Structure 1
Amino acid sequence: MAKSLLIISRQAPWTGPSAREALDIALAGGAFDLPLGMLFLDDGVFQLAPGQQPAQLQQKNLAANLQALPMFGVEELFVANSSLQERGLAVETLSLPVQVLDDAALAVLIDRFDQVITL
C-alpha cells in the first residue's frame, strides 16, 4: 500500500515558485493514485482567492492547476480557519471547495498522513 502524503502550501501565488511546485507535486501524485491531501496554510490561502490577475505581476495563473486537482484525484483539500480569518478571506468566496479546520483539527490532520511536505 502506498504511503499517504500531505502537501502543505504556505506561500502566496505571487511570491515565487513554491505555490506552483506544491500544485505540481499534488497533480503528479494524484496522477499516480497516491493517497494525498493538500493543506493551504498561512499565505497559501491566497491561492484560493478568486479574481486574481497574476499577469500584471508577470506570473502564471494557477487557477487551472487548482481546478484540475479533483480531476487528478486530489479531493482532500483543507484550509486553516485561522489563516483565512487573519487574511480577511471568507470560505464562501474561495475558488475550490475545501474543508475548514481549526488548530486542533490541523494537528490531527497532519498526524493522519505518513509523509508531509511543506512548501
Structure 2
Amino acid sequence: MAKSMLIISRQAPWAGPAAREALDIALAGGAYDLPVSMLFLDDGVYQLADAQAPDTVQQKNLAANLQALPLFGVDELFVCAASLARRGLSHAALAVAAQTQTDEQLRELLPRFDLVVTL
C-alpha cells in the first residue's frame, strides 16, 4: 500500500517559492497515486483566499493549481481555524473547499499520515 503524505503549507502565496512548491509536490504525488492531503497553516491560509491579484506583484496565479488538486486525487484539504481567525479570514472567504480544523483536531490529524512535509 502506498504511504500517505500530508503537505503542510505555511507560507503566503507570494512570499517566495514555498507555496508553489507545496502545490507542485501535491500534484506530483497525486499523479503517481500517492494518497496526498494538504494542510494550510499560518500565512499559508492566504493561499486559499478568494479574489487574489498576483499580477500586481508580477506572479502567476496559484488558483488554477488549487482547483486542479481534486483532479490529481488530492481531495482532503485542511485549514487551521486559528490561523484563519488571526488573519481576519472566514471559511466563507476561501476560494476552494477545505475542512476547518481546531488545534485539537490538528493534533489528531498529523499521526494519520506516514509522511509529513512542511514548506
Q: Shorter-chain TM-score category?
A: over 0.9
Measure how far apart 1:65 and its partner are: 0.3
Task: State the alpha-carbon separation in 2 of the partners of residues 17 and 35 from structure 1.
Answer: 23
Instruction: Report how far residue 64 of structure 1 moved.
Output: 0.3
TM-score (norm 2): 0.98
| CA-atom RMSD in angstroms | 0.5
Please show how residues 42-57 of structure 1 align to structure 2 within 5 Å.
Answer: 42-57=42-57
Using the size of structure 1 for normalisation, the TM-score is 0.98
AA in 1 matched with 2:5 = L
Residues paired across the two proteins, number: 119
Map of 1:82 onto structure 2: 82
1:36 Cα deviation after fit: 1.3
Moved over 3 A (4+): none
Structure 1: gaps spanning 5 or more residues: none
Aligned to 1:30: 30
The CA deviation string for residues 17-36 of structure 1, in whole angstroms up to 9 with x for no partner, is 00000000000011111011
Once the two structures are superposed, residues 46-77 of structure 1 have per-residue CA deviations (whole angstroms, 9 ceiling, x without a partner) of 00001111111011110100000011110010
| Unmatched tracts of structure 2, length 5 or more | none
Identity, % of aligned positions: 67
